[in-house]
Amino acid sequence: MNFFNTNIINRRKIAQILLFSLFISPMVTAQAQEFLQRSPDADAWVKQELRKLSKRERIAQLMVIRLSERKGKEVVFYDKEVLQYLKKYNIGSVCLFQGNSPQQALVLNKLQAKAKNPLLVCIDGETGLGMRFGDVKPFPDQLTIGAVPDAVIAYKVGRAIAEQCKRAGIHVDYAPVVDINNNPLNPVINFRSLGEDKYKVAGFGVQIMKGMQDGGVMACAKHFPGHGDVAVDSHLDLPVINKSVPALDSLELYPFREMVKAGVGSMMVAHLYIPSIDATENQATSLSRKNVTGLLRNQLGYKGLTFTDALEMKGVAKFYPQGEAAVQSIIAGNDMLCLPGDVKGSIKKVRKAIRKDKLSWDDLNEKVERVLYAKFNLGANSFNPIDTVNIAADLNKDVSSLKREVYENAITLLKASDEALLSLSTSKRIAYVGIGISAENQFGRMLKEEYKTDCYYFDYAADAGRLETIQQSLQGKYDVIITGLHNYKKYPANNFGISATAIEFLRRLGENANTINFVFGNPYAIKNFNSAKNIIACYEDDALMQEAAVRFLKGKIAAKGKLPVTVSADLPYGSGMDSRKLKVVSPETVGLSSKMLGRIDSVALDAIAKGATPGAVVLVARKGKIAFERAYGTMNTDRKEAVSSETIYDLASVTKISATTLSVMKLYEEGKLDLNKTLGDYLSWTKGSDKANLKIRDILLHQAGLVSFIPFYRETLEKSGKPKAGAYSSTRDKVYSVRVADNMYMPAARIDSMYNKILSSKLGPANKYVYSDNDFIFLGKIVEQITGKDLDQYTRNAFYLPLGMYTTTFKPLEHFPLNQIAPTENEKYFRLQQLRGDVHDPGAAMFGGVAGHAGLFSNASDLAKLYTLLLNGGELNGIKLLKKETIDYFTGYHSEISRRGLGFDKPEKDNKDPKTAYPCWSASPQTYGHTGFTGIGVWADPKYDLLYIFLSNRVCPDGENNKLLSMSVRGKIHELIYQSLLNKNQ
C-alpha cells in the first residue's frame, strides 16, 4: 500500500513537471532578443526599407566594412572608399578601428548623412573605445575583471562602455569575450578572457553584456564555439581543436549557452577547425553550417544576430578567397560578414550561389530583416549627428574612476610569509627594485614619498654584472625590499619578453622572507618565480594600478582578488588571501581545545553519511579570531562538487537578524525608527487595515498577531499544478521583470497583490507568540521606506562592504559564479527545478529575491565578521557601525511569553535539561542568534566571546529532509564548542 501511494505521488510530480514544461518551453525557444523585437512601428519601417533595397543591396546589408587602420605610425581612414561602397552597394555596416574620437565622429556623420539606409556602426572594443581610439583611455583587460570578487563591477564596466558607445554613435560592440582561457600559451585570447573557470567566465560575461544592453548597445559574445584552448593565432593561421563534442559541451560551450539564455544580442563566430563539429578539411567554424546553423541556431536555440570573425584573417583567407569566404559564411547561417575584403566579388558569388540553389532569397531576406530590426531597435533608423564638442572628455569621464575600482578589487594577495610585513611602517628601511624599467615610475615615486624608499632599476637589457651590483647594495641594508615586475608583454611568447637575468634576480630576491613582490601584468608570468615568499598580483601596469598597490601597502584597501587562471600547481585558479578575513589562530591561542573541537568532524561526517545534509561548513571564533573552520562533504548528493570554506549558502531566516534586524538597530540608534510606533506610522499603505496599528516592538517579537506565512505561489497555479495563463514567462521583459527562478519571471504588478494578501490576512490575538515571516516582510519595507533604498542596497552599503563581507548579499547570481553557491531544493511543487543561486523561500523569490525574512546569502568567514562586530560592541578593525548599548538592548530578553529578543532568537529561559536544551545546554542566557530553514545556525555568546556558525543545505535535494533537526546536528556541535573551553572563567 505504501509503495502504491508513493508511485501515485511520483506520477503527480511528473505530471506537474510535464504540464509546466508544456507551458514554458515554447517561450524558451523564442529567446528574448530586445534588439530584434517586432512592433507595429518596427514592422512598418523594416517593410519600407526592405522594399527599397535592390537584390545586390540586400546582400550588401550583411557586410561590415573597415573604416580605418594603422599603417606604421599613421592612421589611415577609408571614408572615401566606404562612401563609394555606400553609393554603389548600400552596405549595411561599418566597423571602427584606429583614429581619435573627433575624427571618427566627423567621418561617421559624413557617411550616415550619405547613406540611403542608415549604417549599423560597430566597434571591436573589449576594453571600451580606448581599445581603438587614440584619445580615449581603455578600461581594464577582461582578465583583470576576472580577478575581482563581485560581478557587479563587471556590470558597471559594461554599462560604462555602453555610455561611451552611445556618445560616439556606435550601436554594436564586439564584446565581451567569453572564451575560457584553458591554455596558458594561448597567443590570441589569454588576457582578453575572464579566466579559466567556465562559471566565472559565464557569470561575469553575462553581467558585462547586461550592462551594455541595459545601456542600449548591442553586446556580442565571442568567439563561438570557444577560442580559449588554442596555441595558434587565427589572424595568422587556422587553429585546430581536437576535442569531442561532449568535451566542448561541458566546458567551452557553457558560457555561450548562458549568454543565449540571458538574451545576448549578437554572437561572433570564430575561425577554428574542430573536426568533431565539422570534419570538412580546413573549413573554419565560421564557414561551417554544422556549427552556425546546426549547433548555434538549432541546438542552442540562438535567435539573435551572428557576425563572422574578420574574414580577412588568415585562418579563413588562407583557404578561401575573399568572395568565397563570404558566400560560405552566409550558407553556414551567419547574418553579418565582418571585413569581407572584396565587396564586389562577394556580392557576385552570393548571387551565383543563389542561382545554383546553395542559398535562397528567402534565407537571405530573413537575414536582412534581422539586421533591419536590429537597426530600428538600436535607434539607427533616425540619425542624429554626433556632437564633436568635448567628445574626448565625455568618453574619458568615467574611465579612471572605474579603472580604480576594478584595480582595487582585483589586487590579489597570493602569498604572505608574515601579514605584518604587508603593513609597512614608515620607520622601516625600505628599498624598491623596479625590474623591467630603467627610470622612476609612479610606483617608485609614491614609495619614495610615503616611505623615503631607496630605488634601484633593472631593465631587461641589464646583465649579470648589474644584478650583482644591485644585490650587493641591498645586502644587509634594508628591513624590507619591494620588487615591482613591470613593462613586460601581455602575451606568453618568449616568456613575455622577460629576460632570463631578470627572472634569476626575482628568484634570488623572492627567497628572502622580507621581500614583497608586486607583479604588474599578466599573472601567468608569476610561474617564473612562484617560490617567492610574498607575491601580490596586480594584473596591469599603469599609474592607477601602481597607486592601488601603494594604497594596499598602506592598509587603505584590502586584497580582495582571486587568481582567474592557474599559474602553477601551488597557485591554482581561485588562489588569493582575504586580507580582511578574521585572523586564523590555533584553538589554544584563544582558550579552546583542539582535541575537543576535532570531535566536530565526527558529528558533521556522521550527518553527511546518514543523509542529513550533503555538506556543511563549521566555523568557531573566539575573542575575534577564527579557531576552527572546516568544510565537509559536497554541494549535492551526486558528490561531484566539494564544499569549501568559500562556499556561499542560502541563509534563509538568518536574513531576519543579519539584514533586517541589523538595519532596524541602526535606524533605531539614529533616532529614525521608534519601536513604540506602528506600521501605519511608517507604511501609509497599511492604513485602513487592521495591520496599521501593530507596534514595531511586537512585530520584532513575533507577537503582533500576524499569520506565520502565506503561500503566495498557490494563487499562480491551477489545481493541476500548471501555472495559470500569463502567470510567468521564461524570459525577462518590461512586464515580466521579477526573477523567481531560472527561466521563470513574474510580472512586477503581482507584488502589490502579495502585499494586499498580507494586509487582508486574518489577524490573530496580540500577546501570543507566532513565529512569522510576515513580521519581517513588513520590517524590511519599513527599512526601505525610511532609508529610501532597497533593503539589499542599504545593507550592502551600510554594513557588508565596510566590513569586507564581500560574499554576503541578496541575489548572489548577480555577484558570483554559480559553482561558488550551494544548491538547495530540487523543487517539485512550484518552480519545478533544482534551485541554485535563487532564494529557496518561495515568498522571498516572488518578491524578487529580496525580502525582510529571507534572501540573504553568505559564506561562513564573511558572516563571522558581522557577528564579531556585534560581540565587539559594534566595532571591527577600526570601523564603528553600532553602539554597544544598542546591541545589548536588542539581544536581551524582551518577552514574557517567549524566549525572543528584539529580532534575535535566544536560549530557552529554562534550559536545564541537556536533552531538550535550545540551542544547546551550555549556551549562556546572553547568547543570541538564529537558525535557518535551509540548514543554517548562527549563535554568538558575549559571556564567553564565542561565535558558532553552521552552514548547510540540508534541503538539497529533497526539501522534506528533517534529519538535521531530528539528529540535533547543530546542537551537538554547539555543545562540543562549549566543552572545548579550557577555562570558562577566561
Model pLDDT for residues 505-520, shown as the tens digit of each residue: 999 999 888 999 999 9
Residues of the chain where predicted confidence (pLDDT) is lower than 50: 1-32
**Which residues in 583-618 are b (16+ Cβ under 10 Å) and which e?**
eebebeebbbbeebbeebeebbeebbeeebbbbbbb
- For the question of residue 479 being annotated catalytic, the response is no
Q: CA-to-CA distance for 741 and 839, rounded, in angstroms?
A: 8
Predicted local confidence at residue 16, as pLDDT: 40
Which residues are paired to 618 by β-bridges?
Answer: 630, 950
Angle at 665 between CA 625 and CA 622, to 5 degrees: 15
Q: Strand 412-415 to strand 535-537: parallel, antiparallel, or no bridges (unpaired)?
A: antiparallel
221 beta partners: 267
What are the pLDDT digits (tens) for 108-120?
999 999 999 999 9
> What is d(CA 543, CA 902) in angstroms, rounded to the nearest whole number?
50
Q: Name which of 278, 375, 289, 371 is nearest 332 in CA terms.
A: 289
Distance CA 414, CA 399 (A): 27
Torsion of CA 779, 780, 783, 785, to 10 degrees: -100
Round to whole Å and give the CA distance between 976 and 481: 46
Residue 504 gets which letter from DSSP?
H
Q: Is 853 a catalytic residue?
A: no
- State the pLDDT at residue 33: 63
CB within 8 A of 752, min separation 6: which ones? none
At residue 179, the pLDDT reads 96
Longest CA–CA separation in the chain, Å? 94
Residue 344: count other Cβ atoms within 10 Å of its Cβ: 13
> Number of C-alpha atoms within 13 angstroms, CB side, residue 391?
22
**Beta strand residue intervals within 561-686, DSSP E:** 615-622, 625-633, 649-650
pLDDT at 3: 27
Nearest one of 58, 123, 124 to 91, comparing CA atoms: 58
| Residues 178, 181, 187, 191, CA torsion sign | positive
Q: Where are the alpha helices (DSSP H) in 282-390?
A: 289, 314-317, 322-332, 343-355, 361-377
Rounded to 5 degrees, φ, ψ at 929 are 165, -145
Strand pairing of 430-435 and 412-415? unpaired
Beta bridge partners of 746: 738
Per the CB < 8 A criterion, the answer to whether 266 and 307 are in contact is yes
Exactly one of 141, 173, 309, 905 is catalytic; name it.
309
What is the DSSP secondary structure assignment for residue 189, as one 8-state letter?
Answer: S
Grid coordinates representing 796?
A: 550592502
Q: How many Cβ atoms are within 10 Å of 787's Cβ, its own excluded?
A: 18
SS3 253: helix
As a whole number of angstroms, the distance between CA 761 and CA 755 comes to 10
- The candidate with the shortest Cα–Cα distance to 938, out of 584, 560, 659, is 659
496 grid coordinates: 613575455
Strand partners, 121: 94
Burial class, 674, CB count within 10 angstroms (exposed 0-12 / middle 13-18 / buried 19+): middle
- Do the Cβ atoms of 858 and 807 come closer than 8 Å? yes
CA atoms within 13 A on the CB side of 387: 8
Residue 831 near residue 744, CB atoms below 8 Å: yes
Q: How far apart are CA 404 and CA 140, in angstroms?
A: 9
Measured at the alpha carbon of residue 186, what is the angle toward residues 184 and 189, in degrees to the nearest 5? 110
- pLDDT score of 236: 72
How far is it, in rounded angstroms, from Cα 625 to Cα 574?
24
Comparing CA positions, the residue from 428, 501, 441, 436 lying closest to residue 471 is 501
Give the helix ranges, DSSP H, for 475-520: 500-510
What's the rounded Cα separation, in Å, for the pair 673 and 315? 66
Distance CA 171, CA 162 (A): 9
Question: Residue 614 phi/psi, 5° resolution?
Answer: -75, -25
Bridge partners of residue 634, in order along the sequence: 642
Which phi and psi (to 5°) does residue 790 adopt?
-60, 150
Contact indicator for 530, 503 with CB cutoff of 8 Å: no
Please count the other Cβ atoms lying within 10 Å of the Cβ belonging to residue 206.
27
**830 Ramachandran zone, left/alpha/beta (phi>0; psi -120 to 50):** alpha
- DSSP-H helix ranges across 168-276: 198-214, 245-250, 253-262
Please list the residues that pair with 827 across neighbouring strands: 833
Helix (H, G, I), strand (E, B) or coil at 869: helix
What pLDDT does 170 receive?
Answer: 97
Strands 305-308 and 480-485: what pairing? unpaired
Nearest to 861 by CA among 669, 569, 619, 560: 619
Q: Which of 135, 233, 235, 888 is catalytic?
A: 235
SS3 (DSSP) at 131: helix
Secondary structure class of 224 (helix, strand, coil): strand
The dihedral sign for the CA sequence 556, 562, 564, 568: positive
pTM for this predicted structure = 0.91
User: Cα(765)–Cα(897) distance, rounded to whole angstroms?
Assistant: 13
Question: Is there a contact between 102 and 388 (Cβ–Cβ < 8 Å)?
Answer: yes
